Amino acid sequence: MEDPITTRRRQQTLSLSRRCRECDQEALGRCPDCHRSFCQEHFPKQQHSPCAERQLRLAEIQVCYVCGVPVYPDQWSISRTSHFIDQYRCKGCGRYICEELHTRKKDEDVVIVREGLRGHRYQYTIRYCDLCAPLSYVGGLKGLARWVTLVGTIAALVFFHFHP
């Protein structure tokens, strides 16, 4: 049998881990950037302090690399367990791109995270720019660079292994 102090600490730890960092209500999801728990009202980036402050500092950098239009990475919840995240970045090169003109290919990726007895569904919007869209099957420009590096390394190893 546990002593009451240990039981109380365990209960406080469980209840504190599921509380919103802004308003102390029940937390519904974790922000993918700052990894803090927030309620449905504070889950969007512009509604909680660490990410809102970071977005204000990065406002000059968060522009489409082609046309210079500002982009606003966003996330929102439509229910207690369903969250949407859109970074407005090309997955192939990592640069910011606008939706209207320069997003050539757009996919959705769903990640389900178990948290206690409840599961959360995070739906990520994956974008590819004009340059990376034809290479999306290998991961865009970064993926192509990884493959070329891997093949070059293997070729060099084979060459130096058999070279006298």
Q: Please return the burial class of 60, using the count of CB atoms within 10 Å of its CB with bins 0-12, 13-18 and 19+.
A: exposed
Would you write out the chain's pLDDT as a tens digit for each of its 164 residues? Answer: 566 666 555 555 444 457 888 888 888 888 888 888 888 888 888 888 888 888 888 888 899 999 989 998 888 888 888 889 999 999 999 999 998 888 999 999 999 888 777 788 999 999 999 999 999 889 899 999 999 999 999 999 999 998 87
pLDDT at position 15 is 46
Distance CA(21)–CA(65), nearest Å, equals 34
CB atoms within 10 A of CB 129: 24
Chain centroid, CA 92 distance in Å: 14
Q: What φ, ψ does residue 65 adopt, rounded to 5°? A: -70, -15
* Kind of pairing between the strands at 82-90 and 74-77: antiparallel
Which 3 state secondary structure label does DSSP give 116?
coil
DSSP letters along 7-76, please? HHHHHHHHHHHTB-TTT-SB--EE-TTT--EE-TTT-SGGGSHHHHHHHHHTTTT-B-TTT--B---EEE
Residue matched to tokens 């939706």: 99
pLDDT at position 128 is 94
| pTM summary value | 0.72
